[in-house]
Structure 1
Amino acid sequence: MELEKLYDNSGVRRQDRLLGFDRALELLRGGEYGFLALGGKSGYGLPINFVLHGTSIYFHCAPEGEKLRRIAHCDRASFCIVGHTAPQPGQFTTEYESVLIFGRIAVVADDTERMQALKYLIGKYSADFEVTGLKYAEKSFHRTAILRLDIERISGKCKKMK
């Protein structure tokens, strides 16, 4: 399924603040990091690097820890990427743009997909060091977990000042 078909702003209360799909896609492809939110008895959110591939977002992390414990109990997740922001002190508001993604998250078990996700991450964050990055990924592969968020819905919102 194409990403554009998953773009659904119908739940946005302020319909006058919708972020266009093209800009949302730019943030999905080029955002430096986002905030991953996981459920459980209490909410848990953290900033994390990511890479978009197809209709999934990949993350890397340690093979143990709070993220993995929460995912084992609940596979629902949301992910937020914030683009441009500019506080407007004299107007008591902020100019902003953000994309919110909803879906199911899983720990990737397949070694081929895990390595491919690391290649995607290297391509996004270290493109000029691909050879060195691949060597590093192979060396640290045993201590790296890969998470995949399969996108079910995307929403975007912005406030632009005139």
Structure 2
Amino acid sequence: MLDEESALELLKAADFGFLAMQAEEGGGYGVPLNYVYDESEEVVFLHCAPEGRKLRCIEQEPRVTFTIIGKDCHVVPNKFTEAYKSLVLTCRAEMVENEEERRRAMRLFVDKLSPNDRIVGYKYVEKSLHRTAIICLHVDHFTGKTKHVTAQTPIISKRD
């Protein structure tokens, strides 16, 4: 299991996650998205186009899950396994309507994804604010798993 401190580290460090929702027709619908974690509010922000299937799904059923996989996942062939860290957040999704809150969320994306280009990024935020929807995920519960594996050199024996 992933403890709370490790889960928070993973939440801050990963670049993207998978948003899973109930589709309009009753099935499941999942989509990969980049995200930003807002430590001050303890919420996750997503951004997307102001129209589309994901928004219709959220409007119909705001209970969603968001799954994050750590960057350091890798297969360990000689152990027949994989090293990984993963986190599943059970959330309530809410559209952010307030313009200042949307601007703040978009600036958090710039800070996370383009920290060396903040000045240009903040200008881009102003230009694209009108065409960007922001989804806030209020985390109700999380579960996490981790598996650390050290690779060993296989022993090769020769028979005469």
Q: TM-score category by the smaller chain? A: 0.7 to 0.9
TM-score computed with the length of structure 2 as normaliser: 0.86
- Structure-1 separation of matches of 2:138 and 2:83: 29
Q: Are positions 1:49 and 2:34 aligned together?
A: yes
Which deviations, in whole Å up to 9, do the C-alpha atoms of 1:77-127 show, x marking residues without a partner? 111111121212333321211111111001111111111100111111111
2:109 to 112, 121, 146: 121
Give the gaps of 5 or more residues in structure 1: 1-17
1:33 to 16, 22, 26: 16
- Structure-2 separation of matches of 1:19 and 1:109: 34
- Structure-2 separation of matches of 1:152 and 1:20: 16
Q: Who is 1:71 aligned against?
A: 58
Q: Who is 1:22 aligned against?
A: 5
Secondary structure of the residue aligned to 2:50 is coil
Which deviations, in whole Å up to 9, do the C-alpha atoms of 1:35-71 show, x marking residues without a partner? 1111131111111110111321001100001110101
Secondary structure of the residue aligned to 2:149 is coil
Q: Does 111-120 or 87-96 show the bigger shift?
A: 87-96
The code of the aligned residue for 2:2 comes to: L
Greater radius of gyration (CA): 2
TM-score computed with the length of structure 1 as normaliser: 0.85
The share of aligned pairs that are identical, in percent, is 39
- Structure-2 separation of matches of 1:126 and 1:86: 26
Q: Are positions 1:104 and 2:87 aligned together?
A: no
The code of the aligned residue for 2:54 comes to: K
Q: Who is 1:146 aligned against?
A: 134
Q: Who is 2:147 aligned against?
A: 159
Segments ≥4 residues shifted beyond 6 Å: none
2:74 to 83, 86, 90: 86
- Structure-2 separation of matches of 1:56 and 1:22: 16
The code of the aligned residue for 2:27 comes to: S
Residues 128-143 of structure 1 mapped to structure 2, 5 A cutoff:
128-143=116-131
Secondary structure of the residue aligned to 1:146 is strand
Secondary structure of the residue aligned to 1:49 is strand
CA RMSD across the alignment: 1.2
- Structure-2 separation of matches of 1:22 and 1:33: 19
